[in-house]
Amino acid sequence: MVRSGRMAVVYVSWGNGAAIMGVALKVMPSRVDADGGFDDRRQRITPFKLMLADPPAKTDDYDKAYPNLGILQLISYVRENTPLADEDIIFLDQFHSIEDHIRLIEEHRPRIYGLSYAFLTQRVAHEAINELKHRFPELLIIAGGPHPTSVPEEVMDKSLADIVCIGEGEMTLSDIINEAIYGGGDFTKIPGLLIRTPDGPLRTAKPRAYENLDELPFMAWDRIDFTKFVGQHYSQSDRQTCIVISRGCPYKCTFCSLPVWRAAKPFVRMRSPENIAREVEWLYRLGIREIKIVSDEINVTLPWAKEVCRAIADLGHTDLFFQSNLRADKIDDELAYLFKRMKMWLVHLGVESANDRVLHGIEKMITVEQTERCLKFLKRHKIRVLLFMMAFQLWETDGRLQFETPKEIRHSLWWVWKQFFLRRMHYMTWSIATPMPGAPLQEIVERHGMKSSEQVLDNWNRNKDYLGIDLNSLGITEKTKMRLLRAGIISKACFMLVSGHFDWRRHFYRLGILIRSFFGKWNVSAQSVAPMLNTPLRAKVEG
């Protein structure tokens, strides 16, 4: 690795031998300043540019809430571990069109283009990759993120990407860049890749996981204009962002896309409370006043969760609010008290169903009783609660297909209303179990010859929560499904109306879904509603 103050002249030879170019590098001093931020005094001039992008997708506001954390982490790591300077890395967030991508590639002429995406944006991602590869055949295109990690071979098949990055990308992408700059462009020795070769896709060694997360530089927050990202509409401040405090999860729920964080061992890693508090402090100094902790759960272990809360509370910021994902099983009164101390005002609880038979089937490893106990602790300390509910779960027992019955779903809704009247919950999400690549649910559905809804991908930018598996073969009619969905939509609107934070814009189109559902027509083409959905938000974002 080349570090401070040296001049180097290197030659980059690409794997296909097509282009050999001279690269003059002026390498600059180390760049992390005292508060974990980025030192802008660095300067380095090199014609080697990297472009990291979100798919040029029209998405709804949920997906525009926060910047892509994967890319932010890659930027901060790459600029520390390769000769690339900050200005050599171009970041295209989710507000760009494919025309922007093309224009900016022509302008900056990057050597590498990396696209980061999850499964819902796979179509638009693959269309973008294919379009760019046709226009810029010399451009090395890398697909990375949750979807490519889950199904790398499929991504190779459906797109013209040169390389798929499997799992975490910090070391992998830096190795690719360093190999491109200093080596001969042979990427086959770099672990965690699927490489397109004339003889077909080649898998390199197993991916690596970053063991000590404290060693990672903080995300490249200095690259973010926070006013562009709207955050959650449930909020105490409009200056919001989200952070990752751990990676992975020790559980294996059947609906969860497990390979995303099980690509390499150790599966679960936690940052130290001090390291987390330092990043929080930096964000505070950048003007952020609300942070959502988006790791799978804040309470990976109870003692660690308490230490994290204490470290954050000790920062003493009375105007900084938090939200977090939480598991219902690892909590006691002290943790709920510490939440209050650190100004955690809302927790997001993955409940899914209020039936122990279902929870056992989907391997949630939480009982209804544990959830109720958790809700009591939270209520005692006046922490608000958002429940994630997911209807129509499927699982297998001894190879036999089992499913959550309409009666059980009605019971779940009744249970939620009961918690609401007891003032133990305030908000809810209501969705249908959707098979995602890599999730055991996907395999179960396939094993039983069920059609998973392809429409999810076509219609995702409007009613994605409400599509799922084709349930007809289980004897559940469209009418029953729609009735239960309607009941969920109406319930969650009622909760918001009473608890506050009613999101009129989102409910405007949910109302459309409701009305159409009465006529049995709830799936109109995404294109016809996308402009309507995107306009208000884009006006806010771009205006």
**Interface with ligand B12 (CB under 6 A):** 59, 62-63, 65-70, 73-74, 114, 116, 118-121, 142, 144-147, 149-150, 165, 168-170, 172-173, 242, 244, 256-257, 260-261, 294, 296, 436-438, 464
CB of 234 to ligand B12, least distance (A): 12
CB of 411 to ligand B12, least distance (A): 24
User: In terms of C-beta distances under 8 Å and separation of at least 24 residues, what long-range contacts does 179-186 make, across chains too?
Assistant: 180/12, 180/14, 180/48, 180/111, 180/112, 180/140, 181/10, 181/12, 181/23, 181/25, 181/48, 181/82, 181/83, 182/10, 184/13, 185/12, 185/13, 185/14, 185/15, 186/15
249 binds ligand SF4 (CB under 6 A): yes
252 binds ligand SF4 (CB under 6 A): yes
Answer with the entry of ligand B12, ligand SF4, none that 217 interacts with (C-beta below 5 to 8 A by kind): none
254 binds ligand SF4 (CB under 6 A): no
User: For residues 457 and 154, what is the distance between their CA atoms, to the nearest angstrom?
Assistant: 15
350 binds ligand SF4 (CB under 6 A): yes
Answer with the entry of ligand SF4, ligand B12, none that 253 interacts with (C-beta below 5 to 8 A by kind): ligand SF4
Answer with the entry of ligand SF4, ligand B12, none that 170 interacts with (C-beta below 5 to 8 A by kind): ligand B12
CB of 413 to ligand SF4, least distance (A): 21
Cα 256 to its chain centre, rounded Å, is 13
For 421, the enclosing helix (H) or strand (E) is helix 406-421
- Termini Cα distance of the chain: 42
The structure tokens listed for 403 are 């499913």
For 427, the enclosing helix (H) or strand (E) is strand 427-432
Cβ neighbours around 262 below 10 Å, total: 18
Cβ neighbours around 417 below 10 Å, total: 15
CB of 255 to ligand SF4, least distance (A): 7
Q: How far is CA 244 from CA 290, 302, 307, 381, 474, in A?
A: 14, 17, 16, 25, 39
Binding span for ligand SF4 by CB under 6 A among 77-85, 246-254, 307-315, 426-434: 246-254
Q: Which is nearer to ligand SF4, 76 or 150 (CB)?
A: 150
336 binds ligand SF4 (CB under 6 A): no
119 binds ligand SF4 (CB under 6 A): no
CB of 33 to ligand SF4, least distance (A): 34
Report the amino acid identity of residue 529: V
State the DSSP code for 324. Answer: E
User: For residues 243 and 258, what is the distance between their CA atoms, to the nearest angstrom?
Assistant: 20
User: For residues 181 and 11, what is the distance between their CA atoms, to the nearest angstrom?
Assistant: 7
Answer with the entry of ligand SF4, ligand B12, none that 251 interacts with (C-beta below 5 to 8 A by kind): ligand SF4
420 binds ligand SF4 (CB under 6 A): no
Q: Which is nearer to ligand SF4, 327 or 492 (CB)?
A: 327
220 binds ligand SF4 (CB under 6 A): no
72 binds ligand SF4 (CB under 6 A): no
**Continuous H helices in 230-347:** 273-285, 302-313, 333-341
Query: Contact positions toward ligand SF4, by CB under 6 A?
Result: 249, 251-253, 256, 296, 350
